[in-house]
């Protein structure tokens, strides 16, 4: 397959248009997304080689989801077809003081009901250099958790680098259960993307500062790198955005961006995908962080889960080209 | 509640716009529908008094579904809230030789997971004169079948008229299983809406003609009236449409309509709702049939599941006012 | 001004999209139209010289109406600004057996409240060769009727040809009142466009056939030419369309077209405009009729009141080029 | 009817989409609204019991307006049908330095031509606890003013609380005439919502500060409470928003919100409706004010006149939940 | 690359929505297409293996065109990037008597300005079994004609089957010039898709019947098979559609379809692609013809150039499943 | 023709909707624009008399472009028809840190391939008082440059005032070539609109400040007035905007506006058009500058190239009416 393999659930995304509420909309914008697919798309959009593994039903909705990923150069040869339904999430974009709202409808999805033994990870990871997964997957079902264990074990055995994005969702499981399932899986994770609050509640690592927490995570779980995004939400339309990366005793803090938000879903995944891409393509840690934060900043301006920006665009932003000019 | 009470599952309906395929659509038109709700709406649109009983989750999608029904004058006071999800169906309209296509995603819906004992049918049917249900409901789950039994028993005990629309869906259950569940429920049904093929495969009544089948059904199950719609499909854009009503030894055949189809989903429900309305409002059998067939013909011209036409419009069509003129 | 001058009310036209009912539409398509403006536009689209006289309020809606007419090469220099509102009509397109429906909201419009003495017809008709008006105008208000009288008298005095399209609207006035107002205005009308039923009820001329009626009209009112459109409505989606022109003892019958309807409003105005254009540009009566009927046929395929087809397109249809090929 | 009854004119609202000008729009978004209906909807959305009284023509536009209100749980049983037209307002949303623009077309509406004696206020207010009206209603016509007098007199006699929102519209009447009509109606008003400038020009009460004006109003007209909204407009896209409530010698000032505006029409009505709901549901004055200001802030984020937010959402904003997070 | 390789120009397709004329449309629907790409897509949609070779500029429009093809499983690895622009065609759909209209804007496109020597056909056709091209390509420019010669020569040398679709466009070149360029290229063509009129004017083969023409073509140019589509245009909305295939002394005539047209562009390409797929996948000549005609019939119901129907759908139509039923 | 004549290329403008990228959009918003047409429209919208000269092909796209200009009161009688294509530009609006992006496709346009001798400038400028052109025109082709020379020479000879807007586009030509072509054309230019950077690179005039540059330009080329717009871009959504005007030893600086951007394309043209209008209609230099800057500020809020604002609106903004209120 590809250099970087991600796996997880892909959902149909249905969004109300033009700041309408679900109660008002006459139609829903159609798209697809999911934390791990978003990472794969980000890498492919930047010019990297990415594959995505999931399970989807054999229907036209899933066909289309795969058509889009294939078009975006994500290798979907490892996707299994079966099960009854594709998970769905309904997104109502917020505005000003009104928060965005998501209704998840992912129960009994084809992926949640996966047969953990049916994926041949050895083959799926053949030739790959990096495995990425997120904390959403083991939260979906015991089968999905088991699948995660298989994937991680295979990756470790094959010497792949492994990254993990916590993505803790309280609607899916409690912090305690999350910790019980996730902690054993942390062994062998090289890069952990995680917030301070999640570190505490799920992984049991507390601290006075981001740095202390990152240090604690490295000490407790052996992560080589810990990355955190920084978001200062001002309203549903605007935030400050940045990130920080810890590696051994060193750390790098990115520039801050004042972001006017078009669609913030997937910004963290854009960050993570660009960080993986940056590190894999030989950027130094600080450079990779700036690149990742810029990619995440740009994601806020893109409609949909997928971060449709190219490497040149990200690098231009890192290099100081502002959005204030039409390029002509 | 209302004069006529119907119960069943209400689904979110998501339709591709403008003859697009699911593979192409950038958005999905949003609506709601379901055989039994469609019947209730038809009755209310005609000026009758109708109530609808179902179970829906406590989320914004279901709120909106109820807001629409309430706006359309359907009494939804008896609706229970709970469960995880509203069923969904995706509709791709056909064209010419390309058939329309539906993807059902109704598994594990709030209604399928209903607690059959949680509905107080005595109270829900208080003051009602008519109960209507369809063969879809008991197909959804054992709990929904049990709920149906309770409703029918209460209606019979309270002396309500009961109508039943077969609506056999092979994706939900086999004909044999349908027969096993439905046959015991036929006792006490006054009006049965049913096709010749369904009569044979599900209810075990065969015949050379519609008339023979209807006679057989009356003999076997004691129905006072048997109604059948007639559809001669010419393409996805066009059909011939009519109906026939049997009562004891008599029967009435309606006029045929050459229909140019905007949206055929719910045409049968429009027929059934208008038939119930007609019979309840004192029309004779033949007159009620013509009224019902005209209502069903008009449904083909209405976007969405619900038949948004009024009594005057149906009567004008029965009376010979063609669609060929703008009314001004 | 222009060769042909028409006058009357221009309305904002608000149409439900995609066969939706008013009860369903989330937006209304915006356009403008009115029988007399439609005629002026038809003539200008065909390459003729046309002007339109009306009264419109000084607001952005009316500004836009005039911007459109000006863009379409209709001379609007004679339009007065004043009054409170532009008339509106809401159009719900029909389908199959469901008739289209119009809600008129034209009471107290700027044009209905016109000051009949405020238009200098001598100046407005200077250099013109033809005046066209319709029976809608005098129906709007006594002032509008008076305005019509002024215009007709001026045109007669100046030796212009005058055409009149009955356009009887029962929602505006009764046939008796219409007759009382219109009959005195028939003097000096050269070309009368009128249906058999209108001839009888409004102008008091009856007959067994179109020919008898036309003859009667010519005898009673001195019309040089009487034109009639022929429409056999099959449904809201389809009709047969043709026309007939009477001149002294002669008459010409056009070909019949089987028309699949996109928007039938304004088809008669397209016919009339093209007939005037044809006659003015030197076509013989029979040729002008065929041209006019073809123009009217094409109008059925055009969204909006205005018939946006050019002379070459109309002539191609007369010449036998079918709609069945993409031109490439 | 309901706990709170409001009455006034309901208009069709036609809005240009996406910041387009009227000169550009190809369609107009369709909705309904009016100050008093907006208040009723706000109360019903918050979970309160509200009814709305008006007069509307018997056409499909008005049918739809009522369907929406009914769907939103507003009791419309007291609405009369008759008259020729529903009032219309055309809204062009502004942007940055370009102000929004409204074209009113409400002359000769069904409500303006109401028969003041035709409403049985005794029956309409039976069981109600609160009557709300605004200064727009008596401005529409002498009949509407007379209707207002009947309603107020009945409410006083029946011991209802009465609230009044000035809503002075200079396009409808002059301040002097407004004062002459409104002052006699102030007797018996318990809660007055009014701006400083309106207090001076219409009610003749001046002062150096909001507090002085409120005191003056209480002294002059016996209001128990005076409420004022505060708006510091920065552009068409952004404002600061707050409110203040005066009661005897006390007053409460709300928090200020920095609002990014989606649609500001109806924000004041959202405030008023939420204030009435808050006071009726037992909140203290200061708490009710904060609740009302938060509801009004959220209205700025909602498309349309009606404030489609629920009590929990308003309380979350009061409680400090920012719009900066997607809720998942 | 793939089993079947096609090459030619890919254009941006911009279509007016909803039967609007170019003069009216506020937006244009965006798609891509071109005779040879359409053939490749058809084959891939049916489950075959297809590649497409072209030259496109390095801009976002062309990126998207390739993203779509890749998503649809067409191998685009052989596409060259360079040149200034992607060709464009503007499509105004017709209706009833009004023909559809295309404005081509393909001059100086990246493909027309191709460097004929820059494509390594040996590598591009490695492993392929079939080359398909059309008469449009050599009409675009001398360079494109030269490129065609290279491709054909390589294919012949490598023993591939070669198919040719005439697609004569009088706007691109005259019949005489077309004949001069095309005739030498006919050597080695196995399957020729061609109309009777084109055979005469371009290839100089005349006859009294389709059969005579086909025989003449086989005799003159050595084609193993000659295929013709049959279209009896009734209006822009409706046609009769069929096809005929000649092979040596035998021929097969397909069933006729009464087609209601959604979008007829690309129907011939759908036919050709399905014919190639059928023949390559081992269907007999008659069976392949029926399959191809059914595929072409379905194309008329699909929006856009690409025929988004699957093998099962085509086979169902061949097998007699009408479009008259929603599949559920 | 008109008081002010402008000439240049008019392009079809195709914009992605709602902040979508070209890769995502399913349709493109359709409009027209070009620097010089935009100036003519601005003048006409303000109430001035403007004409526009160009060359456009004889197709429906160009017909529509002219229909729009005519509707907007721009005299297009001098437009020539001929050539193959209308230039196109694709606009992807930016957001926040993501810059807007334009793809130009204007090669081989009808205007670029103009015959410079075919325009009778004597007749075209008859009665005109002002000629305006921009640096884009001579960049398009040698023929267009030659055409520019003819126009300028005729204008000078006839004593018209001449304005020139640099509009340097690096995608069209290099600064050196621009200088070589443009410098000889500067003779006789009265008003030069130019940025500091363009003055240096193209016209060879450098300076420490705007004032020094303006002084240098006046000295070198004899301009009576030099105008500069000021833009401080903060993001794609927001900028500060102002302007400065130099005349002999005097200069005027406008107020600054904090602009929230809807569509920034054409803001400079709005400025220039309003400046010309202001100067021509007798405003003093400082007043004309404030008027022009306000017009340009408002342009940022208008969708499309054309600045659809009227004189009263511009004057209201100059006079301090903020956008923060809906006008009612």
Can you tell me the distance from the alpha carbon of C324 to that of E241, in angstroms, rounded to the nearest whole number?
12
- Whether the Cβ atoms of residue C134 and residue C36 lie closer than 8 Å to each other: yes
- The pLDDT-based confidence of B111 (bands split at 50, 70, 90) is very high
F161, pLDDT greater than 60: yes
- Whether residue B70 lies within 8 A of chain D, CB to CB, comes out as yes
Measuring CA to CA, which residue among C224, F23, E317 is closest to residue A41? F23
- Whether the Cβ atoms of residue A279 and residue A46 lie closer than 8 Å to each other: no
Are F85 and E63 a contacting pair at CB < 8 A? no
Are B70 and D68 a contacting pair at CB < 8 A? no
- Whether residue D313 lies within 8 A of chain A, CB to CB, comes out as yes
Query: What DSSP element (H or E) covers D162?
Result: strand D161-165
| Helix (H/G/I), strand (E/B), else coil: C116 | helix
Residues in B closer than 8 angstroms to C96, CB to CB, are 259-262, 297, 300-301, 323
Subunits in contact with chain F (3 or more CB pairs closer than 8 Å): A, C, D, E
- Whether residue A309 lies within 8 A of chain F, CB to CB, comes out as yes
Residues in E closer than 8 angstroms to B237, CB to CB, are 260, 323
- Whether residue F234 lies within 8 A of chain D, CB to CB, comes out as no
Residues in E closer than 8 angstroms to F70, CB to CB, are none
Can you tell me the distance from the alpha carbon of E268 to that of E254, in angstroms, rounded to the nearest whole number?
15
The mean per-residue pLDDT over the stretch E22-38 comes to 97
Question: Tokens 């449709």, residue?
Answer: A308
Q: Which residues pair with C246 in a beta bridge?
A: C226, C251
Can you tell me the distance from the alpha carbon of B108 to that of B141, in angstroms, rounded to the nearest whole number?
9
Can you tell me the distance from the alpha carbon of C12 to that of C28, in angstroms, rounded to the nearest whole number?
11
Buried b / exposed e along F66-80 (16+ C-beta atoms within 10 A): bbbbbbbbbbbebbe
* pLDDT of res. B320: 87
Are A67 and E67 a contacting pair at CB < 8 A? no
DSSP strand pairing (F74-75 vs F50-53): parallel
Of A23, A30, A64, the CB nearest to B63: A23
Structural domains of chain A, count: 1
Q: What is the CA radius of gyration of chain F?
A: 19
Measuring CA to CA, which residue among E159, E154, E166, E158 is closest to residue E191? E166
Please indicate, yes or no, if residue C325 is contained in any of the structural domains.
no
- Whether residue C14 lies within 8 A of chain D, CB to CB, comes out as yes
- Whether the Cβ atoms of residue B165 and residue B193 lie closer than 8 Å to each other: yes
- Whether the Cβ atoms of residue B201 and residue B168 lie closer than 8 Å to each other: yes
The mean per-residue pLDDT over the stretch E72-84 comes to 98
Please indicate, yes or no, if residue E12 is contained in any of the structural domains.
yes
- Whether residue F230 lies within 8 A of chain A, CB to CB, comes out as no
Of chain D, the end-to-end C-alpha distance in Å amounts to 39
Are D73 and B73 a contacting pair at CB < 8 A? no
E269, pLDDT greater than 80: yes
pLDDT in tens, F175-228: 999 999 999 999 999 999 999 999 999 999 999 999 999 999 999 999 999 999
Would you state the torsion angle of the CA atoms of residues C218, C222, C225, C229, taken in this order, to the nearest 10 degrees?
Answer: -50
* pLDDT of res. C320: 87
Residues in A closer than 8 angstroms to B107, CB to CB, are 84-85, 108
The mean per-residue pLDDT over the stretch C45-57 comes to 98
B208, pLDDT greater than 90: yes
Please indicate, yes or no, if residue B181 is contained in any of the structural domains.
yes
Measuring CA to CA, which residue among B160, B138, B214, B152 is closest to residue B186? B152
CA distances from F182 to D141, E234, F165 (A): 66, 58, 11
Q: Identify each DSSP E strand in E8-150 by its residue range.
A: 11-15, 27-33, 50-53, 55-56, 74-75, 80-81, 88-92, 101-105, 130-134
Are B26 and A29 a contacting pair at CB < 8 A? yes
Residue of D45, D71, D79 to mutate when probing chain B, most B C-beta within 10 A: D71
The mean per-residue pLDDT over the stretch C241-245 comes to 98
Please indicate, yes or no, if residue D108 is contained in any of the structural domains.
yes
The mean per-residue pLDDT over the stretch E245-253 comes to 95
C321, pLDDT greater than 80: no
Measuring CA to CA, which residue among C273, C275, C169, C280 is closest to residue C226? C275
- Whether the Cβ atoms of residue B126 and residue B1 lie closer than 8 Å to each other: yes
Can you tell me the distance from the alpha carbon of E197 to that of E210, in angstroms, rounded to the nearest whole number?
10
* pLDDT of res. A200: 97
Angle ∠(A19,A21,A25) on CA atoms, nearest 5: 90
Are B260 and C21 a contacting pair at CB < 8 A? no
Q: Can you give the pLDDT of all 328 residues of chain A as single tens digits?
A: 799 999 999 999 999 999 999 999 999 999 999 999 999 999 999 999 999 999 999 999 999 999 999 999 999 999 999 999 999 999 999 999 999 999 999 999 999 999 999 999 999 999 999 999 999 999 999 999 999 999 999 999 999 999 999 999 998 999 999 999 999 999 999 999 999 999 999 999 999 999 999 999 999 999 999 999 999 999 999 999 999 999 998 999 999 999 999 999 999 999 999 999 999 999 999 999 999 999 999 999 999 999 999 999 999 999 987 676 565 5
Of chain C, the end-to-end C-alpha distance in Å amounts to 39
| Helix (H/G/I), strand (E/B), else coil: F241 | strand
Phi/psi at E65 (5° precision): -55, -45
Can you tell me the distance from the alpha carbon of A54 to that of C203, in angstroms, rounded to the nearest whole number?
77
Are B99 and E324 a contacting pair at CB < 8 A? yes
Please indicate, yes or no, if residue C71 is contained in any of the structural domains.
yes
Residues in chain D predicted with pLDDT less than 70, given as ranges, are: 322, 324-328
- Whether residue D177 lies within 8 A of chain A, CB to CB, comes out as no
Q: What is the ipTM of this complex?
A: 0.95
Are C30 and D29 a contacting pair at CB < 8 A? no
* pLDDT of res. C322: 66
Q: Identify each DSSP E strand in chain F by its residue range.
A: 4-7, 11-15, 27-33, 50-53, 55-56, 74-75, 80-81, 88-92, 101-105, 130-134, 161-165, 191-193, 225-235, 238-247, 250-253, 257-260
- Active-site residue identified among C3, C75, C269, C305: C269
DSSP strand pairing (E27-33 vs F27-33): antiparallel
Can you tell me the distance from the alpha carbon of A27 to that of A50, in angstroms, rounded to the nearest whole number?
33
- Whether residue F27 lies within 8 A of chain A, CB to CB, comes out as no
- Whether the Cβ atoms of residue F111 and residue F143 lie closer than 8 Å to each other: no
Are D105 and C85 a contacting pair at CB < 8 A? yes
* pLDDT of res. C90: 98
DSSP D230-288: EEEEEETTEEEEEEEEEETTEEEEPPPEEEE-S--TTHHHHHHHHHHHHHHTT--HHHH
Please indicate, yes or no, if residue B328 is contained in any of the structural domains.
no
F327, pLDDT greater than 60: no
Are A107 and B105 a contacting pair at CB < 8 A? no
Please indicate, yes or no, if residue F10 is contained in any of the structural domains.
yes
Are E302 and B101 a contacting pair at CB < 8 A? no
Count CB neighbours of D258 within 10 A: 16
> By percentage, how much of chain E surpasses pLDDT 70?
98
Residue of C16, C87, C94, C95 to mutate when probing chain B, most B C-beta within 10 A: C95
| Helix (H/G/I), strand (E/B), else coil: F192 | strand
Are F98 and A258 a contacting pair at CB < 8 A? no
- Whether the Cβ atoms of residue C55 and residue C8 lie closer than 8 Å to each other: no
CATH value at residue B181? 3.40.1190.20
E324, pLDDT greater than 70: no
Are D71 and B73 a contacting pair at CB < 8 A? no
The mean per-residue pLDDT over the stretch C254-271 comes to 97
Query: How long is chain C?
Result: 328
| Helix (H/G/I), strand (E/B), else coil: A181 | helix
Q: Identify each DSSP E strand in chain C by its residue range.
A: 4-7, 11-15, 27-33, 50-53, 55-56, 74-75, 80-81, 88-92, 101-105, 130-134, 161-165, 191-193, 225-235, 238-247, 250-253, 257-260
Residue of A71, A239, A301, A316 to mutate when probing chain F, most F C-beta within 10 A: A301
- Whether residue B324 lies within 8 A of chain C, CB to CB, comes out as yes
- Whether residue E68 lies within 8 A of chain A, CB to CB, comes out as yes
Of E18, E297, E328, the CB nearest to B97: E297
- Whether the Cβ atoms of residue C5 and residue C148 lie closer than 8 Å to each other: no
Can you tell me the distance from the alpha carbon of D221 to that of D240, in angstroms, rounded to the nearest whole number?
30
- Whether residue A240 lies within 8 A of chain E, CB to CB, comes out as no
Are D27 and C22 a contacting pair at CB < 8 A? no
- Whether the Cβ atoms of residue F192 and residue F225 lie closer than 8 Å to each other: yes
CA E269: distance to chain centroid? 3
Q: At A104, list the tokens.
A: 């998840």
Can you tell me the distance from the alpha carbon of A189 to that of B68, in angstroms, rounded to the nearest whole number?
50
* pLDDT of res. E172: 93
Subunits in contact with chain A (3 or more CB pairs closer than 8 Å): B, D, E, F
- The pLDDT-based confidence of F10 (bands split at 50, 70, 90) is very high
Q: Which residues of B are catalytic?
A: 269
Give the range of the structural domain holding residue B272, as residue numbers without chain letter.
Answer: 4-318
CA F63 to chain D, closest CA, distance in angstroms equals 18
- Active-site residue identified among A3, A165, A263, A269: A269
Of D23, D25, D105, the CB nearest to C63: D23
Q: Which residues pair with F15 in a beta bridge?
A: F29, F91
> By percentage, how much of chain C surpasses pLDDT 70?
98
Are F98 and A298 a contacting pair at CB < 8 A? yes
CA D182 to chain C, closest CA, distance in angstroms equals 26
Q: State which residue of chain A sits closest to B29, comparing Cα positions.
A: A27
Query: How long is chain B?
Result: 328
Query: What DSSP element (H or E) covers E272?
Result: helix E267-280
Look at the alpha carbons of B136, B139, B140, B146 in this order and tell me if their dihedral is positive or negative. Answer: positive
DSSP F269: H
Phi/psi at D102 (5° precision): -120, 135
Residues in C closer than 8 angstroms to F44, CB to CB, are none
- Active-site residue identified among E165, E237, E269, E305: E269
Query: How long is chain E?
Result: 328
- Whether residue A327 lies within 8 A of chain F, CB to CB, comes out as yes
Residues in F closer than 8 angstroms to D19, CB to CB, are 262, 301, 303
Please indicate, yes or no, if residue D2 is contained in any of the structural domains.
no
Residues in D closer than 8 angstroms to B59, CB to CB, are none
- Whether the Cβ atoms of residue A151 and residue A7 lie closer than 8 Å to each other: yes
Q: State which residue of chain C sits closest to B303, comparing Cα positions.
A: C20
């Amino acid at each position: 397959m590809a250099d970087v393999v991600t796996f997880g659930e892909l959902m149909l995304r249905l969004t109300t248009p033009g700041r309408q509420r679900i109660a008002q909309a006459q139609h829903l914008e159609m798209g697809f997304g999911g934390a791990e697919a978003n990472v794969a798309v980000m890498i492919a959009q930047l010019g990297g080689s990415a594959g995505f593994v999931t399970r989807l039903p054999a229907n036209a909705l899933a066909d289309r989801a795969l058509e889009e990923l294939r078009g975006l150069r994500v290798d979907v040869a490892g996707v299994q077809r079966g099960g009854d339904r594709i998970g769905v999430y309904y997104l109502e974009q917020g505005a000003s003081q009104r928060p965005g709202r998501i209704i998840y409808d992912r129960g009994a999805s084809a992926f949640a009901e996966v047969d953990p033994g049916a994926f041949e990870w050895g083959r799926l990871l053949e030739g790959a250099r990096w495995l990425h997964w997120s904390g959403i997957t083991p939260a979906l079902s015991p089968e999905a958790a088991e699948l995660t264990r298989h994937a991680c074990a295979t990756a470790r055995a094959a010497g792949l680098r492994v990254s993990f994005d916590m993505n803790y969702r309280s609607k899916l499981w409690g912090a305690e259960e999350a910790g019980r399932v996730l902690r054993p899986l942390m062994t062998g994770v090289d890069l952990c993307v995680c917030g301070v609050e999640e570190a505490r509640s799920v992984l049991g690592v507390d601290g006075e500062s981001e740095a202390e927490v990152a240090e604690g995570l490295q000490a407790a779980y052996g992560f080589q790198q810990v990355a955190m995004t920084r978001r200062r939400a001002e309203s549903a339309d605007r935030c400050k955005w940045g990130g920080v990366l810890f590696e051994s005793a060193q750390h790098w803090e990115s520039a801050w961006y004042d972001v006017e938000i078009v669609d913030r879903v997937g910004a963290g995944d854009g960050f993570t995908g660009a960080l993986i891409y940056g590190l894999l393509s030989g950027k130094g840690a600080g450079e990779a962080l700036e690149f990742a934060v810029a990619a995440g900043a740009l994601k806020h301006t893109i409609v949909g889960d997928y971060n449709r920006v190219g490497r040149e665009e990200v690098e231009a932003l890192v290099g100081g080209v502002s959005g204030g000019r039409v390029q002509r």
